[in-house]
């Protein structure tokens, strides 16, 4: 979705955020069939993904996957759990403080890394195994965002996540 004209009220609403977000957790999965590994930092490669992740040399539309920290308690509640570990959800980054859905189709920075939100990160059937029966449906609407990495660099836990106007 293209942004409305810069002088419009809708443009102002769509580009104003209460605060910057923060990366709360990072993880990679080096190959299929193994669990995510929590990390403190990762090299983001432009046009590809995160070095050390199984999608790290991919096409780029799914260079990094993000999930909203504020959605983790909702997913846990819908699954009848006290909490849900980010590693179970198979996303590269847990972000708090900024609504990820507002970054779909937009450019944003995670620290010094420039990304572009490409599509919702819908759950897969593996959530039935990771979260138990109904795990797939518990994640619907809470799956997060896939993003392309436009300019690489190092991502770190604690990095700011901010919309970037170009």
Note the pLDDT tens digit of each residue in 38-79.
999 999 999 999 999 986 666 667 899 999 999 999 999 999
**In degrees, to the nearest 5, what angle opens at C-alpha 151 toward C-alphas 149 and 154?**
85
- At 82 the pLDDT is 95
- At 97 the pLDDT is 96
Residue 1 pLDDT exceeds 70: no
Q: For residue 161, what are its two tokens? A: 């996540």
- At 4 the pLDDT is 79
- At 13 the pLDDT is 84
46, 149 in Cβ contact below 8 A? Answer: yes
The 3-state secondary structure of 82-136 reads CCCCHHHHCCCEEEECCCHHHHECCEEEECCEEEEEEEECCCCCCHHHHCCCCHH
- At 5 the pLDDT is 83
Higher pLDDT residue, 159 or 7? 159
Q: What is the mean pLDDT of the chain?
A: 91
What DSSP state is assigned to residue 42?
E
State how far the Cα of 53 lies from the Cα of 119, in Å rounded to an integer: 19
What pLDDT band is residue 17 in, cutting at 50, 70 and 90? confident
| Fold of the 20-163 domain | M1 Pyruvate Kinase; Domain 3 (2.40.33)
What pLDDT band is residue 162 in, cutting at 50, 70 and 90? very high
Residue 3 pLDDT exceeds 80: no
In 3D space, the residue among 45, 54, 17 whose CA is nearest the CA of residue 115 turns out to be 45
Residue 32 pLDDT exceeds 90: no
Residue 161 pLDDT exceeds 90: yes
Q: What is the mean pLDDT of residues 106-113?
A: 96
Neighbours of 9 (CB within 10 A): 8
């Amino acid at each position: 979705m293209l942004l409305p004209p810069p002088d419009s009220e809708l443009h102002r609403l769509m580009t104003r955020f209460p605060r910057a977000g923060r990366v709360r957790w990072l993880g990679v999965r080096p190959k299929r069939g193994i669990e995510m590994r929590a990390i403190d930092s990762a090299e983001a490669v432009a046009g590809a993904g995160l070095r050390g992740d199984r999608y790290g040399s991919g096409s780029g539309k799914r260079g990094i996957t993000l999930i909203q920290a504020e959605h983790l308690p909702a997913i846990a509640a819908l699954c009848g759990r006290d909490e849900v570990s980010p590693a179970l959800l198979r996303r590269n980054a847990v972000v708090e403080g900024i609504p990820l859905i507002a970054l779909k189709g937009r450019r944003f920075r995670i620290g010094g890394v420039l990304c572009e939100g490409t599509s919702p990160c819908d759950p897969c059937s593996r959530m039935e195994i990771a979260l138990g029966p109904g795990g797939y449906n518990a994640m619907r609407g809470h799956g997060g965002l896939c993003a392309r990495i436009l300019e690489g660099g190092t991502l770190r836990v604690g990095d700011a996540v901010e919309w970037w106007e170009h």
